[in-house]
Structure 1
Amino acid sequence: MSIEIGQPVPDFSASATGDTTVTLAELRGKQVVIYFYPKASTPGCTTQGGDFRDRKTAFDEANTVILGVSRDGLRAQENFKAKQDFNFALISDKDETLCTLFDVIKLKKMYGKEHLGIERSTFLIDAEGRLAKAWRGVKVPGHVEEVLAAAQALSTGQ
Structure 2
Amino acid sequence: MSWDAEFTRHFDRSAAAMRFTAYLLCGNWHEAEDVVQAAYLKLYLAGPRMAHRDGVDAYLRRIVVRTFLGERRKARWRRERVTDELPEVGAPAQLSEDRVVLWRALDALPAKQRAVLVLRFWHDLGVDEVARSLRCTSGTVKSHTSRGLAALRRRLGADFAELWPEVSRNA
Q: Which has the higher helix share?
A: 2
Q: Which has the higher strand share?
A: 1
* TM bracket (short chain): under 0.3
Q: Report which structure shows greater RCO (CA 8 Å, sep ≥6).
A: 1
TM-score normalized by the length of structure 2: 0.21
| Structure label with greater radius of gyration | 2
TM-score normalized by the length of structure 1: 0.22
